[in-house]
């Protein structure tokens, strides 16, 4: 499932609602559209905002003077999104001096059509329709090749999704440790499309894959921003994995494990066979680097 996050000021909620109507076809196609208005009163807004941003495949910011006057506009969550591989789209809804905001180096997403803010369009529906089309086309862009040439025989997705009887990945999640049963083919990243979703700004949307090949497991980095290492050594193409090898996926620590038998694995690990598992890293214990 793709996820789109929308940030805006409360004063701009009417604009968000208009956009949301134009995103209905995407929502019906299974895209999860989250917006800041869904944060419940009294909840930890920073934590929910951080989680939503890290899950998003696209982050859309509706910009106005009201939004750039908020603390949220200059929050660590926004800077974290800019430092990660999250795709950020900026839509100026009302005139303001937004070029000095943290995302001021990004173009107004409708600049090819008009430099005017959406509120100044003769027919704002034209702007919302074009914005919805841009969001759809951005989601459909996927230039990452998930299949290195040496595993062509794993073209069948059902083969990739079969859980392995003894292999697991232990996420050193400190307060919430997780041991996850591996499939024969595993995509790992911040995107909800990954088999194993790691919600952390140092993890790319599609970060790496771990796959079974000729009886052994290998890890392959997908040109991620912060890289993947095995026992401190950077993964370049595909490196073999051994029992208890230490992996660093971005800044998230993990360990590759082979159990003696399936019953021991089943008693210890969570299965990824039915659904993705999201592992939320605790920033208070985030390793440096």
User: pLDDT tens digit string along 103-151?
Assistant: 888 889 998 888 899 999 999 999 999 999 999 988 876 434 444 444 4
Which fold is adopted by the domain 3-140?
Rossmann fold (3.40.50)
- Indicate the pLDDT class of residue 159, thresholds 50, 70 and 90: very low
User: CA dihedral defined by 40, 45, 51, 53, rounded to 10 degrees?
Assistant: 100
**What is the C-alpha separation between 70 and 31, in angstroms, rounded?**
28
pLDDT at 270: 55
User: For 151, which DSSP code?
Assistant: G
Q: String of b and e for 231-261 (b: at least 16 CB within 10 Å)? A: eeeebeebbebeeebebbbbbbbbebbbbee
Q: Which range has highest mean pLDDT (167-176, 187-196, 227-236, 262-271)?
A: 227-236
Pair 210, 182: CB distance under 8 Å: yes
Residue intervals of the chain classified under CATH 3.40.50.10140 are 3-140
Q: Please write the tens of the pLDDT for every residue from 63-97.
A: 999 999 998 898 877 877 776 657 899 999 999 99
Burial of 185 (0-12, 13-18, 19+ CB in 10 A): buried
Residue intervals of the chain classified under CATH 2.60.200.20 are 150-280
Architecture of domain 150-280: Sandwich (2.60)
Residues 6+ apart with CB under 8 A from 275: none
Residue with tokens 């990739």: 160
Q: DSSP strand E in 137-230: where?
A: 163-171, 178-183, 185-189, 196-199, 208-213, 216-221, 228-230
**What is the C-alpha separation between 53 and 267, in angstroms, rounded?**
33
Pair 273, 181: CB distance under 8 Å: yes
Q: Please write the tens of the pLDDT for every residue from 196-235.
A: 888 888 888 888 889 887 788 999 888 788 899 999 999 8
Query: Who has greater pLDDT, 218 or 284?
Result: 218
**What is the C-alpha separation between 216 and 206, in angstroms, rounded?**
22
Query: How many CB atoms lie under 10 A from the CB of residue 27?
Result: 12
């Amino acid at each position: 499932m793709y996820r789109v996050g929308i940030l805006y000021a409360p004063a701009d909620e009417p604009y968000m609602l208009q956009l949301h109507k134009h995103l209905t076809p995407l929502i019906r196609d299974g895209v999860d559209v989250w917006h800041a208005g869904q944060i419940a009163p009294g909840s930890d807004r920073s934590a929910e905002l951080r989680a939503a941003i890290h899950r998003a495949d696209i982050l859309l910011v509706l910009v106005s003077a009201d939004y750039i006057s908020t603390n949220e506009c200059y929050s660590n969550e926004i800077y974290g999104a800019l430092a990660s591989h999250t795709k950020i789209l900026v839509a100026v809804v009302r005139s303001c001096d937004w070029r000095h905001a943290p995302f001021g180096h990004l173009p107004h997403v409708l600049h090819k059509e008009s430099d005017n803010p959406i509120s100044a369009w003769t027919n704002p529906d034209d702007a919302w329709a074009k914005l919805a089309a841009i969001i759809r086309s951005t989601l459909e862009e996927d230039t990452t090749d998930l299949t290195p040439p040496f595993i062509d025989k794993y073209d069948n997705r059902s083969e990739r999704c079969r859980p392995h009887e003894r292999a697991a990945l232990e996420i050193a999640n400190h307060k919430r440790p997780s041991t996850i049963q591996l499939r024969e083919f595993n995509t790992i990243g911040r995107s909800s499309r990954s088999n194993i979703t790691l919600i952390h700004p140092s993890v790319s949307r599609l970060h790496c894959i771990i796959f079974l090949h000729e009886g052994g497991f290998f890890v392959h980095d997908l040109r991620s921003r912060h890289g993947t290492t095995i026992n401190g050594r950077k993964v370049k193409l595909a490196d073999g994995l051994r029992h208890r090898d230490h992996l660093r996926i971005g800044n998230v620590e993990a360990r590759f494990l082979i159990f003696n038998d399936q019953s021991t694995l089943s008693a210890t690990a969570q299965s990824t066979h039915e659904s993705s598992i999201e592992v939320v890293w605790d920033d208070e214990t985030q390793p440096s680097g």
